[in-house]
A and B are shown apart, each in its own frame.
Chain A
Amino acid sequence: MKERKESDPAAQRSSGRAESKTQNPKSKILKKLLDVVFIVVLGVVSVALLLAAQSYSAPAVARFRETRLKTNVLSAAGIPWTKDDFKQVFEERVKEQSGAGSTWFAADSLVIAEFKGRGLWGMIEGIVVLDSSLTRIVAVRVLAQEETPGLGDRIKEPSYLATYRGKTAEEPLELAMRHAATEPNEVDAITGATLSSQALVSVVTSSVSRLRTAAKGGAQ
């Protein structure tokens, strides 16, 4: 009686279920079947909606990624660009090269490569800039990341990424923990975000070594 009084949907449902118990087993099976059909239809409809949304946004996302990459490569190489002419500037000043299964960009005397690797939560994407002799890191830029907001996402800040400037490209980088980075192969860690800093270090290190082997092979 008490349940009936509540206008709560759960109570209505439970009373509905009690009614269906009195029905014969055949309609019970039918009800189960209808439940399955409902879930399947719901699933199909939602997947269709998601596919529509995906195909709607895909071209715009691709355009945005291209713009982001090109403008960042230009900025990292110190080439001035504006919103209107960056595509043209990119074509004139930056050469795309490939070898040993990877591609990189050559701009002026700099060698620039994209990187992508596992962070703490999601993928970290960015670019790394080496000097022409492939011995020093000129700059690292993070273009996309999904690290913890407020902690790990500081890896994207230019003020943090400055710690990579001038570091060696010849040996693997290491995270300087409990002390400031002084050695040429050490970079600073972020307090409270050691795992994200470590992830960025390993992603950058592997992309630098890949770029070095590829670009050296291309030069010979």
Chain B
Amino acid sequence: MNLRKLAYTRPWRVFIAGFFKENAVTYQLLGLCSTLAVSNKLENAIAMGLGVVFVVTISSALISVLRRWIPGQYRMITYMIVTSTFVIIVDQFLKANFPLISAQLGPYVGLIITNCIVMGR
């Protein structure tokens, strides 16, 4: 009963849409670099996946909050600064706590910046 109701609520539909229809990777084919590059090992894929989720979530949230104040001409610059800041934070976190995984991921963590999921919005 409750479950059936749940299926019609808006948060649930948004959540489900995120799996395919509003998933940047499957639908817009953005972010493929970080999706495919290092998914050769489970640990790498998990680390990269968490990294991308963190970066995209935080930077999208921040940009949504700032949207009204972001000056039109500096839109791209703002997106770049915000995204790359969080990417570097993820990179430093990996270097500090999982140095071996970080060495395996190599330059691909930095390439989250260029996957532009945030900019595709």
Contact = CB atoms under 8 A, between A and B. Distances in A.
A and B physically associate: yes
Interface of A: 9, 13-14, 16-17, 31, 34-35, 38-39, 42-43, 46, 49-50, 53-54, 56-57, 60-61, 64, 68, 121, 144, 146, 149, 153
Interface in B92-121: 92-93, 95-97, 99, 103, 106-108
Contacts of B73: 35
Interface stretch (B6-14, B16-24, B45-53, B81-89): B81-89
A114 B25 CA distance: 43
Name the 4 nearest CB pairs between A and B, nearest first.
A57-B96, A60-B96, A35-B71, A57-B92
Contacts of A31: 71
Interface residues of B, number: 26
B30 interface: no
A34 B74 CA distance: 12
Given A39-B77, A46-B82, A146 B106 contact: yes
A79 B90 CA distance: 36
Contacts of A43: 81
Contacts, number: 62
A14 B92 CA distance: 38
Contact of A153 (B69, B82, B106): B106
Contact of B99 (A64, A121, A146): A64
A78 B74 CA distance: 57
B81 A42 contact: yes
B78 interface: yes
Contacts of A146: 106-107
